[in-house]
């Protein structure tokens, strides 16, 4: 009985809800949503990670809450209801960051607040949570959050390593490289380079998954 219960919680269909957004339906590289924050907070790994975690939490729980109350939401004010739920969750996340990781919260500055306007969130709420059960919506939220996250973290690693020679604030580029004349690449810390990096990820992804390429 118990195994059957587990089976249904993580059935093939439900697993797909998490796995799809990681690759074939990635919010950043395929749907091209949430680009703004992806460019802004990935110059260092730590803020990128905290931002990613915040987005996972907000997408998962806003999906869960909206799916749970979806049948009672008056259709005419549904966007307002969705926004209220998202905004409340974002404020909670922001307050928690201010209380426990104050430095990172200062670095993220406005971008935590801007999660409210992150297209991934509203997109998932409208497209999925409004017409699916809470558990599936929760998984969908986690999936999309993680799809956003791994891109952010990958970019954070690349940009911090090549831009500052550190990872998570710890120096990893060996000193002899600097002695040999190696210099940190200042350009990679700037937002334009982040855009090129996203482009590169999209390029690699499409060369591997050819079904993503437009036929036209």
Partner 1 sequence: MSDSYIFRYAAIMVILVAAVLSAVAMLLKPAQDKNVAIARMRFILESANIEATAENAIELFEKYIKEEEVISSEGEVIAIYKDGKLEKGEVRAFDINLKEELYNKSKGKEFVLPLYIADVDGRKYYIFPLQGRGLWGQIYGNLALEQDLVTVGGSQFGHDKETPGLGAEIELPMFELQFKGKKIFDDNGQFTSIKVLKGASKILSGDQLLHGVDAISGGTITSNGVSEMLQTNLENYLPYIQKQKQQ
Name the residues that contact partner 1, by CB under 8 A: 40, 72-77, 80-81, 84-85, 88, 91-92, 95-96, 98-100, 102-103, 106, 109-111, 191
| 72 vs 181 by CB, closer to partner 1 | 72
| 98 vs 133 by CB, closer to partner 1 | 98
Q: How far apart are CA 214 and CA 117, in angstroms?
A: 28
Q: How far is the CB of 67 from partner 1 (least distance, A)?
A: 16
| 22 vs 73 by CB, closer to partner 1 | 73
| 10 vs 102 by CB, closer to partner 1 | 102
Residue 140 · residue 128 · CB < 8 Å:
yes
Q: How far is the CB of 206 from partner 1 (least distance, A)?
A: 30
Question: Which run of H or of E encompasses 147?
Answer: helix 134-164
Question: Which H, E and C letters describe 29-69, residue by residue?
Answer: CCCCCCHHHHHHCCCCHHHHHHHHHHHHHHHHHHHHHHHHC
| 92 vs 196 by CB, closer to partner 1 | 92
What are the residues whose beta carbons fall under 8 Å from the beta carbon of 187, sequence distance 6 or more?
193
Residue 97 · residue 47 · CB < 8 Å:
no
Q: How far is the CB of 29 from partner 1 (least distance, A)?
A: 23
Q: How far is the CB of 48 from partner 1 (least distance, A)?
A: 15
Other CB atoms closer than 10 Å to residue 148's CB: what's the count?
Answer: 28
| 9 vs 196 by CB, closer to partner 1 | 196
- CA distances from residue 57 to 12, 50, 72, 214 in whole angstroms, order as listed: 23, 11, 23, 32
Question: Which run of H or of E encompasses 214?
Answer: none
Q: How far is the CB of 93 from partner 1 (least distance, A)?
A: 10
Q: How far is the CB of 94 from partner 1 (least distance, A)?
A: 10
């Amino acid at each position: 009985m118990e195994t059957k219960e587990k089976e249904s919680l993580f059935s093939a269909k439900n697993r797909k809800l998490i796995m799809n957004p990681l690759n074939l339906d990635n919010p950043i590289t395929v749907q091209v949503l949430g680009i703004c924050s992806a460019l802004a907070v990935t110059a260092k790994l730590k803020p990128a990670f905290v931002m990613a975690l915040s987005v996972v939490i907000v997408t998962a729980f806003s999906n869960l809450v909206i799916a749970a109350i979806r049948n009672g939401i008056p259709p005419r004010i549904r966007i307002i209801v969705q926004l209220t739920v998202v905004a409340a969750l974002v404020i909670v996340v922001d307050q928690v960051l201010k209380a426990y990781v104050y430095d990172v919260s200062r670095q993220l500055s406005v971008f935590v607040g801007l999660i409210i306007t992150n297209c991934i969130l509203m997109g998932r709420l409208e497209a999925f949570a409004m017409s699916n059960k809470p558990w599936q919506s929760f998984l969908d939220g986690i999936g999309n959050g993680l799809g956003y996250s791994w891109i952010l973290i990958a970019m954070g690693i690349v940009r911090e390593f090549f831009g500052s020679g550190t990872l998570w604030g710890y120096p990893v580029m060996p000193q002899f490289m600097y002695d040999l004349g190696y210099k940190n690449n200042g350009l990679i810390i700037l937002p334009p380079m982040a855009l090129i990096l996203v482009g590169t990820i999209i390029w690699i992804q499409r060369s591997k998954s050819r079904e993503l390429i437009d036929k036209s």
